[in-house]
């Protein structure tokens, strides 16, 4: 009987992995086609069916041409600067806002948190015009700060970190208060290290969102010196009359840092025992 149950469980696991692998393959096919197209020479047909994912004569000429004929170095610098500053400011402001909502007690606390969470339901397209008007009146159009300030804090980030702060054992906080820590000291020395996985998770979401954002830079920028990579890739369509090899090369340049950032940061997205410093 036990052997039959083990055999059944093994088949269930095998079928589950097979199904997930098939779904993952379907999801990866467009990315594989994009990378393959970026390395194909002009002599190869990129629209043949079934598609040929392995180029017959791989070449880096598409990447070289894109980099040399367009200011992709400038676009790359702009995207990196905006993404790094956005991540840093978002983590700072969200953590500062989430801590009192999670660990302190004050009048209207629950109502304020409910109001913040409710704003998650508001689409960006609704606040886009007021944000643009505010950006222009503040003189932030065509500037790095203009690209950053709508994303310096987020309701999702406050919610995520607030939930993480609530999971930190009170014993750690009480021990820090006995040692003479202020609320700000507890936030920095106790809470921030305890919720590192949540901070890394938020950093990944914010970085991907900032790096791949196309709509807001398109609205707020008219000076191509501040263009980010998504806008640079969009310009390739006009510059090269829809040469999909070059557009694919630009897209690969644009998405490679996102994949690299995720691969580096995912190792830190692991559960931590926040109560490991508490002795029973």
Q: What's the pLDDT score for residue 4?
A: 57
Q: What is the C-alpha separation between 97 and 86, in angstroms, rounded?
A: 16
Q: pLDDT band at residue 277, thresholds of 50, 70 and 90?
A: very low
pLDDT, residue 94, reads: 95
* DSSP classification of residue 191: I
54-68, 114-128, 230-244 — which is least confidently predicted?
230-244
Q: What is the mean pLDDT of residues 127-145?
A: 92
pLDDT of residue 272: 47
Inform me whether the pLDDT recorded for 275 exceeds 70: no
Interacting residues of 216 by C-beta distance below 8 A, sequence separation 6+: 124, 128, 131, 147, 150
pLDDT mean over 189-215: 92
The answer to whether the beta carbons of residues 262 and 51 sit under 8 Å apart is no
| 22 vs 17: CA distance, rounded Å | 9
What tens digit of pLDDT does each residue of 231-263 get?
988 888 765 557 788 888 888 989 889 989 988
> Is there a contact between 160 and 201 (Cβ–Cβ < 8 Å)?
yes
Any idea of the CA torsion for 219, 224, 229, 233, to the nearest 10 degrees? 90
Residues in Cβ contact with 157 at an 8 Å cutoff, skipping those fewer than 6 apart: 90, 91, 94, 98, 202, 206
Segment among 73-82, 191-200, 268-277 with least mean pLDDT: 268-277
Residue 156 has pLDDT above 80, yes or no: yes
Q: Taking the domains of the chain in order of start, what are their residue ranges?
A: 2-59, 69-275
Tell whether the model's pLDDT for residue 201 goes beyond 50.
yes
pLDDT at 88 > cutoff 90:
yes
Rounded to an integer, the average pLDDT of 36-42 is 85
pLDDT of residue 90: 96
Q: Domain 69-275 in CATH: superfamily?
A: MetI-like (1.10.3720.10)
Q: How far is CA 204 from CA 98, 101, 259, 265, in A?
A: 18, 23, 10, 7
């Amino acid at each position: 009987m036990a052997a039959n149950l083990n055999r059944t469980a093994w088949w269930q696991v095998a079928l589950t992995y097979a199904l997930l692998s098939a779904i993952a393959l379907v999801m990866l096919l467009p990315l594989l086609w994009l990378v393959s197209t970026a390395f194909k020479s002009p002599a190869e047909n990129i629209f043949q069916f079934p598609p040929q994912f392995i180029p017959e004569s791989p070449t880096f000429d598409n990447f070289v041409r894109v980099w040399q004929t367009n200011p992709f170095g400038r676009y790359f610098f702009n995207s990196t600067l905006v993404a790094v500053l956005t991540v840093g400011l978002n983590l700072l402001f969200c953590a500062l806002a989430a801590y009192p909502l999670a660990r302190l007690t004050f009048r209207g606390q629950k109502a304020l948190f409910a109001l913040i969470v409710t704003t998650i339901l508001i689409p960006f397209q609704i606040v886009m015009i007021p944000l643009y008007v505010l950006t222009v009146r503040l003189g932030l159009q065509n500037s790095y700060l203009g690209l950053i300030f709508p994303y310096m804090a987020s309701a999702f980030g406050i919610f995520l970190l607030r939930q993480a702060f609530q999971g930190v054992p009170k014993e750690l906080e009480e021990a820090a208060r006995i040692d003479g820590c202020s609320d700000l000291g507890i936030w920095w020395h106790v809470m921030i290290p305890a919720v590192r996985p949540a901070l890394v998770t938020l950093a990944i979401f914010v970085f991907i969102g900032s790096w791949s954002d196309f709509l807001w830079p398109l609205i707020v920028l008219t000076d191509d010196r501040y263009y980010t990579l998504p806008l640079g890739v969009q310009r390739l369509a006009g510059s090269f009359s829809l040469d999909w090899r070059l557009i694919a090369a630009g897209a690969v340049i644009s998405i490679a840092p996102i994949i690299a950032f995720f691969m580096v940061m995912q190792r830190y997205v692991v559960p931590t025992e926040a109560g490991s410093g508490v002795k029973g």
